[in-house]
Chains A and B, each alone.
Chain A
């Protein structure tokens, strides 16, 4: 299972999904009404490293994080 966590203002509990890459995660989240509006503006991290390609392979136990727009300071 892949753990998907939603950071900051996305008020959604962590999900556990069956997926072998980020494309699968994308397809599942696009079907989720609470999350789909965030996808356009969210950065993505796999195991706490930001990624820039959907081809990232996922393994059982991996963690995918969605990071919405930021504003520190």
Chain B
């Protein structure tokens, strides 16, 4: 349930799809997180590169972890350009009871930020500039230094 889209996410359509997919699965809680592009630092938007093979294995490990709590995770992310006030990221946890999902969405999004192989660029003055100061080195970095 890892979904990648070119450009901005259609939040309503993805919510509707995920809700329908699980509407008869007997999950008592559906906790989503939606990330949108804020108007700041005079940017026109953000742009993303995604390395799919490692993103998939990272996500599959999370799916296994969620399964241990009888939960599931879903995630959608953009590739390429996303403009101001549009969404580039949606994550959700479905679980039988709310506590598991509330805690897992926090852990999942934080680990996503620190580990998912996605690179962000500011779109500004017609240029695509790597957001190096907001980026985090993946755990274990520097092996070749």
A residues engaging B (CB < 8 A)? 7-9, 22, 25-26, 29-30, 39-45, 48-54, 65-73
Q: B135 and A68: CB pair below 8 A?
A: yes
Chain B residue at minimal CB-CB distance from A5 = B51
A49-B57, A51-B143 are known contacts. Are A41 and B51 too (CB-CB below 8 A)? Answer: no
Size bin of chain B's contact surface: 35 or more
Q: Flag whether B112 is at the interface (Cβ < 8 A).
A: yes
The residues of A that contact B126 with a CB separation of less than 8 Å are none
- Chain B contacts for A71, CB-based, 8 A: 113, 118-120, 131, 134-136
Cβ distance B48 to chain A, nearest Cβ, rounded Å:
7
| A and B contact pairs by CB, cutoff 8 A, 22 listed | A8-B117, A8-B119, A9-B49, A26-B144, A39-B144, A40-B141, A41-B137, A42-B144, A43-B138, A50-B138, A51-B143, A54-B144, A65-B54, A68-B137, A69-B141, A70-B118, A71-B113, A71-B119, A72-B48, A72-B112, A72-B113, A72-B116
Known A-B contacts A51-B143, A73-B89; the reply to A8 vs B138 at CB < 8 A is: no
Digitize B106-145: 1 where CB-to-A-CB distance is under 8 Å, 0 elsewhere. 0001001111111111000000001110111111111111
Choice from B35, B119, B143, B145 contacting A70 with Cβ under 8 Å: B119
B74-106 with Cβ < 8 A to chain A: 77, 88-89
A46 to B101 alpha-carbon distance, docked (Å): 33
Q: Which B residues lie within 8 Å of A41 (CB)?
A: 137, 141-142
CA A40 – CA B141 in complex, angstroms?
A: 7
Contact yes or no, B144 A69, CB < 8 A? no
B24-42 vs A, CB cutoff 8 Å, 1 = contact: the mask equals 0000000000010000000
* A30→B120 CA distance, assembly (Å): 26
Write the nearest CB–CB distance from B50 to chain A, whole angstroms: 8
Contact of B144 among A9, A29, A49 (CB under 8 A): A29
